[in-house]
Amino acid sequence: MKAHNILLLGSGGREHAIAWKLSQSPLCKALYIAPGNGGTAQFGTNLSVSIADFEALKKICLEKEITLLFPGSEEALVLGVWDYFKQDPALAHIIIAGPSKAGAQLEGSKAFSKKFMQRHAIPTASYAEFSEDNYEEGIQYIQAHSLPIVLKADGLAAGKGVVIAVTHQEALQAFEQMIKEAQFGEASKTVVIEAFLTGIELSVFALSDGQHYVLLPEAKDYKRIGEGDKGLNTGGMGAISPVPFADDNFMQKIKTAIVEPTIKGLAAEGITYQGFIFFGLINVGGEPFVIEYNCRMGDPETEVVMPRLENDLVELITAMHNGQLDQVQMNFNPKAACTVMLVSGGYPEAFEKGFEIEGLQNISDSIVFHAGTKSIEQSLVTNGGRVVAISSYGDTLKEALQRSYQSIAHIKFNQMNYRKDIGWEFE
């Protein structure tokens, strides 16, 4: 099998975990990360380039003889990096671990993804779609709807475009802000309004070659800032894998009712999709429903999924490219894995950056994945809301969590915050 010069796009804990995994492959000749973070530089060369600047990416690909592009986040995919590369004869040979712009609409447009699920009878919350044109109807729809009610800006809104309203007044206000005041700019010109589903969430990841797929280890992330799942939503404060309630029976339902119709639906609609599909699911009384699709891996889920994935990641991407995922045998580490995110004080609201991070060199029982960090001369400083993810293995989930929390006791930075109850409902 051919070895690759790989360009990985992104700068989070997810990208550090992907870099960690890619670098273990004998098929990874050289690894570049754009822009990367203080941790990714351990496994490759960080390049200071914006992932939305396709011309700059082209220049790097030609200079470094890149043969595999791995977009870690959705940004480049939703902007159409796949189409840009495939239309350029100098770049068309490069394998891309991600979908076309049309495929990335599963994440890039909530209205598209809801219509897609409706067309293919994939279980999801009932909904309607509104814009300036049917604004008055939207008001009536909200007033007649049961509570809570969920409003979603159609486009990408940096994880902030979802409002779960518990009163009609709150829903009407959010609706007005999104449509009339363009709270999220273009992204909220269209709003999806859907029923609130009650249940427990989990994240399921498929890698699709357009026809076949493999599942990666499933995970559960902890999105709220506060213990007991209280307070504001964040990018994710921790994750666990496996998910105790995702037994064979439940996973089979997910494959049959959700994963397979999604992959078949994309193919039937002529949408090119070779890449990861992240199914954000909710278990409602034993039945899985889709909350959202993403066209990339999750963060911080990747910080537990990569440690449990035993297959060679470059081999998997090669099989994806060749349409041969049906020939791949997946192997997962049977141990439990967890990750606990250390965040800046104040996050997910305003926070300060630039504090020195101490103690990472003392960690031996956990894997440290950097998220918002930056190396300045000899020291490492905080450079984002989510700073580092501390991942550990254990024979049980409890043991994995104990290891992460023991490791965290060695780490400090000014205003460091983290949740002490990751995995709490499964203890």
Binding-site size for ligand AMP (CB under 6 A) equals 12
Residue 299 binding ligand AMP, by CB under 6 A: no
386 binds, among ligand AMP, ligand GLY, none (CB under 5 to 8 A by kind): none
Task: Rule CB under 6 A: say whether 345 interacts with ligand AMP.
Answer: no
Instruction: Give the pairing type, strands 4-10 and 275-284.
Output: unpaired
- β-pair type (200-208, 213-215): antiparallel
**Could you tell me the smallest distance in angstroms from the CB atom of residue 236 to ligand GLY?**
4
- DSSP secondary structure letters along 67-131: -EEEE-SHHHHHHTHHHHHHTSTTTTTSEESS--HHHHHHHH-HHHHHHHHHHTT--B--EEEE-
Task: Fill in the per-residue mask, 296 to 335: x = in contact with ligand GLY (CB under 6 A), - = not in contact.
Answer: --xx-x----------------------------------
For ligand AMP, the binding residue among 117, 125, 240, 400 (CB under 6 A) is: 125
CB-nearer residue toward ligand GLY: 25 or 339: 339
Give the residue at shortest CB distance from ligand AMP. Answer: 292
197 binds ligand AMP (CB under 6 A): yes
Contact 173, 133 (CB under 8 A): no
Residues 233-292 that bind ligand GLY (CB under 6 A): 236
Residues 223-262 that bind ligand AMP (CB under 6 A): 223
Amino acid at site 118:
Q
- Check residue 196 for interaction with ligand AMP (CB under 6 A): yes
Closest CA to 96 of 7, 219, 214: 7
Distances (CA, A) of 113 to 120, 189, 266, 271, 400: 11, 16, 11, 13, 36
Cβ-proximal residue to ligand GLY, closest one: 298
Q: What is the DSSP letter of 218?
A: P
Instruction: Annotate 35-61 with b (16+ C-beta within 10 A) or e (fewer).
Output: ebbbbbeebbebbebebeebeebbebb
Nearest CB to ligand AMP, comparing residues 38 and 155: 155
Closest to ligand AMP by CB, 114 vs 403, is 114
> Strands 230-233, 287-294: parallel, antiparallel or unpaired by DSSP?
unpaired
> What residues numbered 59-78 form the site for ligand GLY, per CB under 6 A?
none
Interface stretch with ligand GLY, choices 115-123, 294-302, 369-377, 415-423 (CB under 6 A): 294-302
Choosing from 241, 294, 383, 392, the residue that interacts with ligand GLY (CB under 6 A) is: 294
- Indicate which of ligand AMP, ligand GLY, none lies near residue 162 (CB less than 5 to 8 Å, by partner kind): ligand AMP
Q: Pick the closer one to ligand GLY by CB: 36 or 298.
A: 298
Q: How far apart are CA 241 and CA 249, in angstroms?
A: 17
Helix count and strand count (H, E) for the chain = 13, 23
Output the CA–CA distances (angstroms, integers) from residue 249 to 43, 256, 375, 423, in the order listed: 39, 11, 46, 22
Instruction: Choose the one of ligand AMP, ligand GLY, none that binds residue 236, judging by a C-beta under 5 to 8 angstroms depending on kind.
Output: ligand GLY
Task: Compute the distance between CA of residue 158 and CA of residue 235 in angstroms, rounded to an integer.
Answer: 9
- Name residues whose C-beta falls within 8 Å of residue 122's C-beta, 6 or more positions apart in sequence: 116, 257, 258, 261, 262, 265, 290
Binding of residue 284 to ligand AMP (CB under 6 A): no
Q: Per rule CB under 6 A, is residue 38 in the interface with ligand GLY?
A: no
Long-range CB pairs of 22-25 (<8 Å, 24+ gap) are 22/70, 22/313, 22/314, 24/312, 24/313, 25/312, 25/313, 25/314, 25/315
Position among 75, 194, 209, 299 found at the interface with ligand AMP (CB under 6 A): 194
Q: Which stretch binds ligand AMP (CB under 6 A): 82-90, 189-197, 246-254, 299-307?
A: 189-197
Q: Which is nearer to ligand GLY, 25 or 344 (CB)?
A: 344
98 binds ligand GLY (CB under 6 A): no
Binding site for ligand AMP (CB under 6 A): 125, 150, 152, 162, 194, 196-197, 201, 223, 280, 291-292
Binding site for ligand GLY (CB under 6 A): 221, 236, 294, 298-299, 301
